[in-house]
Amino acid sequence: MQAPVLSGPQYLREGLKLVLSPGLRLFVLLPLAINLILFVGLIYFAGHAFGQWVDQLMPTLPGWLDFLSYILWPIFVALVVLMVFFTFTMVANIVAAPFNSFLAEKVEIVVRGKDEFPAFKWSELAGEVPRTMGREMRKLGYFLPRATGLFVLSLIPVVNIVAAPLWLLFGVWMMAIQYIDYPADNHKMSWQDMLAWLRQKRWQSLGFGGIVYLVLLIPVVNLLMMPAAVAGATLFWVRERS
């Protein structure tokens, strides 16, 4: 039975419940911990390097420019916040890709009526890395030329009026592709076949992608909503395919 076009919030809500269940928390906590360690480390080293640069710069400036030392640090903090905001989701998706593939597989087991999880094996997870990384690069290859075209369009006077809604629509579509691809890839569906299937379910896909796009814009909340989106996309896959 086809899902209603506006069923995206329901899928995401059910996905959130699933990832909070004891058997699936591991696949949420591990990538989350890795991402936090990665970003904390990058911010620490960036702050250390910036501090050294400021210490070297200030003695070379005239005394009346000492006030710059009080301005440079707030600017640096603001830039770091912006960097984290705009890159966290992209980096987190790449780092978490093998975990997300595993998570989609386990969610599907639960949805289809089997709640006995096989023992977690690091070797099995490691074997997922090359395949999932290749799939993530395929998504990036799909995204970049289209994003570049939209960017060029936004620079053209008058025509750029349509750029903003097209950016929004493309972002929503990419969210559907990003997360529904995990269960599709688990079933060895090719990239082109997956895109063709999503186009057949265009409005349902955009409904799901729209709610995911919205919640991932919320800082902190998006940490939990990313695995919830994987689980919700798996529900979408199972119910629509059946």
- Do 54 and 73 contact (CB within 8 A), yes or no? yes
Give the pLDDT of residue 169.
Answer: 92
- Do 27 and 132 contact (CB within 8 A), yes or no? no
- Do 97 and 135 contact (CB within 8 A), yes or no? yes
Kindly report the number of other CB atoms within 10 A of residue 19's CB atom: 23
Give the pLDDT of residue 100.
Answer: 84
Give Cβ neighbours of residue 154 (< 8 Å, ≥ 6 apart).
160, 163, 164, 167
- Do 147 and 170 contact (CB within 8 A), yes or no? yes
- pTM attached to this predicted model: 0.75
- Three-class secondary structure of residue 219 per DSSP: coil
Enter the tokens of residue 33.
Answer: 């911990």
Give the pLDDT of residue 126.
Answer: 65
Mark residue 157 as left, alpha or beta (left: phi above 0; alpha: psi -120 to 50; beta: remaining).
Answer: beta
CA 121 to chain centre: 24
| Secondary structure (DSSP) of 141-207 | HHHHHHHHHHHHHHTSTTGGGGHHHHHHHHHHHHHHHHHHHHHHHHTT--HHHHHHHHHHTHHHHHH
- pLDDT tens per residue across all 242 residues of the chain: 454 555 778 899 999 888 888 777 777 777 778 777 877 887 788 787 878 877 777 777 677 767 777 777 788 777 777 666 656 666 777 777 778 888 888 888 888 776 444 555 666 666 666 777 788 888 889 988 998 998 888 888 777 788 888 988 999 999 999 999 999 988 889 999 999 999 999 899 999 999 999 888 887 777 788 889 999 999 999 888 86
Give residue limits of the domains in the chain: 5-113+120-241
Cβ burial of 157 (10 Å; 0-12, 13-18, 19+) is exposed
| Secondary structure (DSSP) of 76-116 | HHHHHHHHHHHHHHHHHHHHHHHHHHHHHHHHHHHHTT---
Give the pLDDT of residue 60.
Answer: 74
Give the pLDDT of residue 121.
Answer: 63
Give the pLDDT of residue 123.
Answer: 61
- Three-class secondary structure of residue 242 per DSSP: coil
Give the pLDDT of residue 1.
Answer: 45
b/e 42-62 (16+ beta carbons within 10 angstroms → b): eeeeeeeebeeeeeeeeeeee
